[in-house]
């Protein structure tokens, strides 16, 4: 009976983890691979792998949040995805920004063009910098969570994000000057 109760508790805890972080894992995967189908596949693979190791992760977490652990799994699977397919992420422009208020046509076109430039700039960053920006700005992760997901120190993560932002700003400025 006790093993069955433990299994039920484990399944209940995993269901809560799944519900709490499905959107974050999917968003991360989508920003990495750039299309819904592959992002759904990576999300599914992430949670399947997480389920296999969930009991151990719970024990070792010492009460810390498991979101960085999930993102790390997604990160590793996405790296495998690129290694296997030798692709670069391309985010669909129409999915990148939802315009929430009506604007005149010129403003909409300029806004979309700017979003396109930013997304291209992010896509062309080195992998670790791109990853850090996605986690920080798309998922809203704090530096400690990002450090955990990328297996870096918090200080190194701050530097990584700072350099990524500076590099992106520099590229955008160069594009603007051209």
CA 140 distance to own-chain centroid = 9
pLDDT in tens, the chain (178 residues): 577 888 899 899 999 999 999 999 999 999 888 889 999 999 999 999 999 999 999 888 888 889 999 999 999 998 888 776 654 444 444 444 444 455 555 555 566 677 777 778 888 888 888 889 888 888 889 999 999 888 899 999 999 999 999 998 888 888 778 7
Where does 100-178 sit in CATH, by number? 1.10.10.10
Architecture of domain 1-90: Orthogonal Bundle (1.10)
Domain with CATH 1.10.10.10 in the chain: 100-178
Identify which of 60, 88, 67 has the alpha carbon closest to the alpha carbon of residue 17: 67
* pTM greater than 0.85: no
Residue ranges of the chain that CATH labels 1.10.1740.10: 1-90
Closest CA to 119 of 141, 93, 85: 93
């Amino acid at each position: 009976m006790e093993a069955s109760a433990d299994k039920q508790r484990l399944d209940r805890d995993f269901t809560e983890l799944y519900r709490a972080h499905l959107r974050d894992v999917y968003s991360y995967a989508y920003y990495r691979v750039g299309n819904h189908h592959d992002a759904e596949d990576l999300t599914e693979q992430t949670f399947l792998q997480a389920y296999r190791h969930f009991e151990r992760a719970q024990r070792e977490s010492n009460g810390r949040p498991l979101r960085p652990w999930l993102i790390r799994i997604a990160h590793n699977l996405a790296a495998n995805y690129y290694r296997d397919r030798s692709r670069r992420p391309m985010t669909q422009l129409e999915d990148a920004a939802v315009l929430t208020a009506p604007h005149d046509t010129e403003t909409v076109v300029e806004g979309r063009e700017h979003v396109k430039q930013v997304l291209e700039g992010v896509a062309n960053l080195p992998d670790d910098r791109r990853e850090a920006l996605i986690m920080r700005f798309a998922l809203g992760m704090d530096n400690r969570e990002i450090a955990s997901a990328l297996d870096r120190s918090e200080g190194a993560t701050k530097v990584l994000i700072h350099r990524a932002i500076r590099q992106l700003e520099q590229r955008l400025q160069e594009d603007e000057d051209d």
